[in-house]
Structure 1
Amino acid sequence: MDRPTGLQPIARSRISHQAVIQLWRLIRDGYWSPGERLPPERELAEQLQVSRGSLREALRILEVAGVVESRQGDGTFVREGPGLGLLSPLAVIFGASGDLVGDLLEVRMIVEPQIAARAAVRATADEIAEMNAAVAAMASLLDREGVALEALEHDRAFHRAVARASHNEVAVRVIELINQTLQEVRRHFVASTERLRRAHERHLEILAAIEAHDAPGASAAMTRHLTEIEGYILSEALGNQGDATATGEGGR
């Protein structure tokens, strides 16, 4: 069987997690249909160029996440059920290990673009001024050393201001809860000069759309921003270095 398009040999650390991502993408994209049996372990391991042990671990993670199911004596099958369109690979990996990081980022990806869209429709002049102040405060720190944590506070203030401008109290509380829970993760993965600069650029895009009362534009800009965040964290989870991402766009 030829290697499916997009299935590449794996040669970095955290091999089983990288195998999860490749298999997840193929299933998401319909290479194997719901109810279809995956190729035998030996064949898949050869295609991925990983050990059968690493492949089994990847399949275990996907099974825990509800993506595949193992049938004794019959092989591994793609599960019938909802599609994977909203399922994040981070949620698959972290969820299987009992970590809430993936779940929280997935929830944020679902709700915050819609919050930004509503802010574009509902924001008052004072609320837009609050967003501008947070963006300006963050910008003032980008050329200074040792202020990453302070810059992250202004980052958080910007997201809080966007949520408030949605005029939905539940949205404000949800975003604040997610940001509080992810505080240490953000410090570890986002607190570099380059990533903070890129976060600032994304904030400017979001703010411009909100100022223009462009709801679709605000939603799209927020989605790009959050995709970059996920890219950083997923890159680190897979053992990669630098700003390469595994989710399709560059990082925050």
Structure 2
Amino acid sequence: MMKPVTAQDLQTAGFVPERRRGPAVSVAQATVDAIQTMIRTGHLRPGESLPPQRNLARDLSVSRATLREALSILATIGEITAKPSGRGFVCADPGEKPATPSWRFAARYSLREVYQFRHVVESYAAQLAAIGHTDPELAELRECLQTFRRAALAGDISLYAQADFDFHHLIMRICRNKLLVDMHQTFASILLESQRLPTERRGNLMHAVQEHESILEAIAIRDPEGASYYMRKHISMAGSRAGLPLSELP
């Protein structure tokens, strides 16, 4: 059984309680940092179950929503894994973690630069798509999402990466900015590679599918702010799954 999290544990982790943080500090990121430090220092050991979320949120002085976001980030970067039952998490074994995939376009652009580009351009495209899409275009997006979901369930990585790219490119086309569409097509090989990288790391392929669902729903109900928000969140999570450290995420 895991021993209680103490104030000394949190101090060692560099954790600042939510009520004492400045507005510029990400609460979720601070929570991630604290849990990562407890893993590195052995307070949480490989294969050991994390305590119930209610208890962990109380000990870290954060909301349940903040904790869930932090756990989602930790799961996507392979620090923790979901239990087979789907209830709770266990600390991952560092010896089983795959090496960060190599980025073959490093001589031209860093992976951080690619995700920064996507964060800005694709979030704005999603916003425009929510404003001006047609019913046939929405049907295309839904069909693309279904292909993406089938590829995830089948573990077809090649189709998965291509369907991921197609979904994003379709949003670019729906936004009706020809320059953005041409830019996305010009850098297609680089963008497709950035969408393939997350599949090389441990994680559930369905995470991205669920993120696409949120983007699509916001576009469908013509919510430009929501579409932009969910796209930004998706790009950041995809960057985590691709191996970018938290300090370099857009």
TM-score by length of 2: 0.53
Bigger relative contact order, structure 1 or 2 (CA pairs below 8 A, ≥6 apart): 2
Give the equivalent residue in structure 2 for 1:84.
Answer: none
The answer for unaligned runs of 5 or more in structure 2 is 1-9, 15-23, 26-102
Contact 2:144 2:167 in 1 (8 A): yes
* Structure number with larger C-alpha Rg: 1
RMSD (Å) for aligned C-alpha atoms = 3.3
Kindly indicate whether residue 125 of structure 2 is the aligned counterpart of residue 115 of structure 1. Answer: yes
* Map 1:71-110 → 2, pairs under 5 A: 99-100=108-109, 101-110=111-120
Q: Normalising by the residue count of structure 1, what TM-score does the alignment of the two structures yield?
A: 0.53
Shift of 1:164: 1.0
Give the drift of 1:104.
2.0
Deviation at 1:124? 0.7
Q: Which amino acid aligns with 1:149?
A: S
Question: Are 2:224 and 1:221 equivalent residues in the alignment?
Answer: no
In the TM superposition, 1:30-179 aligns within 5 A as 99-100=108-109, 101-145=111-155, 147-179=156-188
Deviation of 1:8 after TM superposition, in Å, equals 6.1
Q: Which runs of 5+ in 1 are unaligned?
A: 10-28, 31-93, 239-244
Aligned to 2:242, what secondary structure does the other structure show?
helix
Contact between 2:148 and 2:164, CA under 8 Å: does it hold in 1? yes
CA contact (8 A) 2:161 2:192 kept: no
Q: Retained in 1: the 8 A contact 2:165–2:192?
A: no
Displacement after TM superposition at 1:192 (Å): 6.0
Equivalent position amino acid for 2:186 in 1: L
Equivalent pair of 2:169/2:181 in contact (CA under 8 Å): yes
8 Å Cα contact 2:152/2:205 also seen in 1: yes
Q: Once the 2 structures are TM-superposed, how far is the Cα of residue 175 of structure 1 from its aligned partner?
A: 2.3
**How far did residue 159 of structure 1 move?**
0.6
- Cα separation, partners in 2 of 1:163 and 1:184, compared to 1, 3 Å: closer
Residue of structure 1 equivalent to 2:191: 182
CA distance in 2, matches of 1:6, 1:178: 45
The 5 A counterparts of 1:7-46 are none
Q: Percent identity of the aligned residues?
A: 21
Question: What SS is found at the alignment partner of 2:153?
Answer: coil
Give the 3-state SS of the residue equivalent to 1:119 in structure 2.
helix
Q: How far apart are residue 178 of structure 1 and its match?
A: 3.7
